């Protein structure tokens, strides 16, 4: 372990080696005395900090909790999340002019999305704080994961969904795991505004990605990518391409890389270039990156087939934008048709994903075509959720079943 910090104030309130620091003013706060989501002094986003940052040698075991030395607890409310595959995708690799493409498939998590990594940590923190009710706003996957992990921890779960805009598989998951589901006549951002207000009033513990402990769990995506990529290629990837909604993963991966720099595992100039992809109909981060702005402008009207990333105000933008810049990354918007084509291409390589996940591959293709990604780069695309999350989108992207009569000749005619 390396006794290094990530900058900012030396903590006055360290608790078990972990504390919260404001990314804006640097003020530090005890993590488990009170429930806080933002800096009480300046309203900035909070980040977990530790008195030591582990090296790869310190990790043992499997899944998210293999990385317990970089998490706030030695174990969590776990159903064996993490340890997802880093697939080769020969068809995509042949079609895209880069050195290599690998796909980190987070659809292989217990509830079929990366959110489980955040919830195994976040729900453990909720237990520590002794809260009674967990809550989130969701485009679907967060609600499925929170319902599942809340059930496992025997805690009440409340979820607010944008009415009519959440894929069927996700609502079914939240429902069966026992969450109370409220459908709001508004988009995801409106749901988040409401649930954040409930949390501030103390009516629920918020487990969206504004919660800094959620992102601690999601940091392990980066650790797994780096370990697996180095094992296969002998080096870190040059670039990680990922879909962006609330920008939690972008923030978490940047934090992962910075902690490895702090631990002496990685040089700053080796951090993979974080490359965010949004749907053209919901692209406030892309707009900010392309216009060189430090702040994201809220989009009130958002629309895309990739309902998981139908988000107009990414709450983690103040963490994610610096990550994209510091790593030499970029951001790009893709059309829904490009997303659907990438979903088909991934499926032909044997990787079944929901539309938002396919955005990463669509974005890679676009950036290569535009000459923004070089042919000598080793790239990892993050696919964030399983195909069955959104069966309607999958069926629409696939081919229609052919009705045939009940006899061999009829079947032979059809083939
Ligand atoms: C399947 C899927 N992909 C991507 C995202 C975007 O991730 P983030 O909010 O971390 O940017 C989400 C949710 O936001 C999601 O559910
Ligand atoms: N895609 C998300 C949107 C909410 O993101 P979060 O990471 O802030 O919880 C979802 O599945 O709800």
Does one domain contain both 191 and 312?
A: no
Average pLDDT, integer, range 204-233: 98
Could you tell me which residues are beta bridge partners of residue 102? 88, 380
406: CA distance to ligand 1 center in Å?
Answer: 44
Q: Is 109 among the annotated ligand-binding positions?
A: no
Instruction: Say how far apart CA 282 and CA 312 lie, in whole Å.
Output: 6
Q: Give residue 1's pLDDT.
A: 58
Give per-residue pLDDT as tens, 18-64: 999 999 999 999 999 999 999 999 999 999 999 999 999 999 999 99
If asked whether residues 242 and 328 sit together in one domain, one would say yes
Q: Are residues 237 and 141 in the same domain?
A: no
How many angstroms is it from 148 CA to the middle of ligand 1?
17
Q: Is residue 66 part of a domain?
A: no
CA distance 293 to 309: 21
Residues 307 and 380 in one domain: yes
- Residue 122 shares a structural domain with residue 23: no
Is the model's pLDDT at 185 over the cut of 60? yes
Quickly list H helices, 46-113. 90-95
Residue 97 in any domain: the answer is: yes
290 and 345, same domain (yes or no): yes
Sheet holding 330-334, edge to edge: 86-88, 100-105, 378-383, 239-243, 273-279, 330-334
Do residues 126 and 230 touch, judged by C-beta distance below 8 A? no
245 assigned ligand-binding residue: yes
- Give a yes or no: residue 164 inside a domain: yes
pLDDT for position 82: 98
- Residue 265 DSSP SS3: coil
**139, pLDDT greater than 90:** yes
Average pLDDT over residues 129-157: 97
Across the chain, mean pLDDT equals: 96
- Is there a single domain that holds both residue 12 and residue 43? yes
CB-based contact 13:19 (threshold 8 Å): yes
Q: 141: CA distance to ligand 2 center in Å?
A: 6
Tell me which residues have their CB closer than 6 angstroms to ligand 2. 136, 138-142, 208-209, 245-246, 248, 308
Provide mean pLDDT across the span 285-310. Answer: 97
Give the pLDDT score at 9.
46
Q: What is the pLDDT of residue 16?
A: 57
- Identify whether residues 128 and 97 lie together within a single domain: no
Question: Average pLDDT of 246-251?
Answer: 98
User: How many domains are there within the chain?
Assistant: 3
Q: Is the pLDDT of residue 357 over 90?
A: yes
- Same domain for 268 and 142? no
Check residue 377 and report its DSSP letter: -
Task: Answer yes or no: is 406 a known binding residue.
Answer: no
Ligand nearest to the CA of 250: 1
| Mean pLDDT for the stretch of residues 309-323 | 98
**Cβ < 6 A, ligand 1 pocket:** 113, 139, 141, 209, 243-250, 308-309, 354, 356-357, 384-385
Of the three residues 209, 230, 245, the one that is the final residue of a domain is 209
CA 396 to chain centre: 25
- 138 lies in the same domain as 286: no
Residue 238 pLDDT > 90, yes or no?
A: yes
Domain end point (choices 185, 209, 233)? 209
Q: Any residues with CB less than 8 A from the CB of 415 and at least 6 apart, and which?
A: none
> pLDDT tens digits, residue range 165-180?
999 999 999 999 999 9
Total residues belonging to the chain: 415
- The residue range of the domain holding 187 is 115-209
Sheet with 205-206: list strands edge to edge. Answer: 180-184, 156-162, 133-137, 205-206
Is the model's pLDDT at 13 over the cut of 80? no
Residue 412 inside a domain? The answer is no
CA dist 96 → 226, 230, 291, 336 (Å): 22, 22, 27, 19
Q: Whose CA is nearest to atom 5 of ligand 2?
A: 246
pLDDT at 11: 42
CATH number of the domain where residue 191 is located: 3.40.50.1100
Q: What is the reported pLDDT for 171?
A: 98
Q: What pLDDT, in 10s, does the model give residues 106-117? A: 999 999 999 999
In a domain, 67, yes or no: no
Predicted ipTM beyond 0.95: yes
At 140 the pLDDT is 98
Ligand 1 centre and the CA of 385: distance in Å? 8
Same domain (yes/no): 309, 220: yes
Which atom of ligand 1 lies nearest, measured to the CA of 247? 11
Residue 101 in this model has a pLDDT that exceeds 90: yes
pLDDT tops 90 at residue 5 = no
Ligand 2: which atom is nearest the Cα of residue 115?
7
What is the Cα–Cα distance from 365 to 371, expressed in whole angstroms?
Answer: 10
Which is the closest atom of ligand 2 to the Cα of 143? Answer: 12
Sheet bearing 46-50, strands edge to edge:
28-29, 18-22, 46-50
Model-level pTM? 0.96
Closest-lying ligand 2 atom to the alpha carbon of residue 356: 1
Least Cα distance to 263 among 12, 3, 64, 75 occurs for 3
**Gap from CA of 41 to ligand 2 centroid (Å):** 26
pLDDT of residue 14: 40
User: Does residue 205 sit in the same domain as residue 223?
Assistant: no
């Amino acid at each position: 372990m390396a006794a290094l910090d990530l900058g900012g104030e030396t903590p006055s309130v360290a608790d078990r080696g972990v504390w919260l620091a404001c990314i804006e003013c640097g003020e530090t706060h005890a993590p488990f005395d009170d429930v806080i989501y933002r800096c009480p002094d300046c309203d900035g986003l909070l980040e977990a900090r530790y008195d030591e940052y582990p090296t790869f040698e310190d990790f043992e075991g499997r899944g998210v909790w293999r990385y317990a030395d970089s998490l706030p607890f030695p174990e969590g409310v776990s159903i064996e999340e993490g340890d997802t595959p880093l697939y080769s995708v020969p068809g995509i690799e042949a079609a895209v002019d880069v050195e290599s493409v690998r796909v980190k498939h987070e659809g292989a998590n217990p509830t079929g999305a990366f959110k489980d990594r955040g919830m195994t940590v976040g729900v453990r923190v909720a237990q520590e704080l002794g809260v009674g009710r967990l809550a989130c706003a969701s485009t679907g996957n967060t609600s499925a994961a929170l319902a599942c992990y809340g059930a496992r921890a025997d805690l009440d779960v409340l979820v607010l969904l944008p009415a009519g805009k959440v894929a069927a598989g996700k609502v079914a998951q939240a429902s069966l795991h026992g969450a109370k589901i409220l459908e709001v006549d508004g988009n995801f951002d409106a749901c988040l505004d409401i649930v954040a207000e409930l949390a501030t009033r103390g009516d629920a513990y918020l487990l969206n990605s504004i919660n800094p402990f959620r992102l601690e769990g999601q940091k392990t995506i980066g650790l797994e990518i780096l370990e697996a990529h180095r094992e296969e290629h002998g080096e870190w990837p040059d670039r990680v391409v990922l879909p962006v909604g609330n920008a939690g993963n972008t923030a978490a991966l940047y934090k992962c890389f910075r902690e490895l720099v702090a631990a002496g595992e990685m040089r700053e100039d080796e951090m993979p270039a974080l490359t965010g992809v949004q749907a053209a109909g919901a692209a406030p981060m892309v707009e900010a990156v392309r216009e060189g702005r430090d702040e994201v402008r809220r989009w009130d009207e958002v629309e895309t087939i990739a309902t998981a990333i139908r988000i107009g105000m990414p709450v983690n933008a103040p963490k994610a934008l610096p990550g994209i810049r510091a790593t030499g990354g970029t951001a790009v918007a893709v059309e829904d048709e490009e997303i659907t084509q990438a979903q088909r291409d991934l499926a032909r390589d044997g990787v079944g994903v929901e539309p938002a996940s396919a955005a990463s591959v669509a974005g890679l293709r676009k950036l290569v075509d535009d000459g923004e990604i070089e042919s000598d780069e080793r790239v990892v695309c993050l696919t964030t959720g399983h195909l069955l999350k959104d069966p309607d989108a999958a069926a629409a992207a696939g081919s229609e079943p052919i009705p045939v009569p009940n006899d061999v000749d009829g079947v032979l005619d059809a083939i």
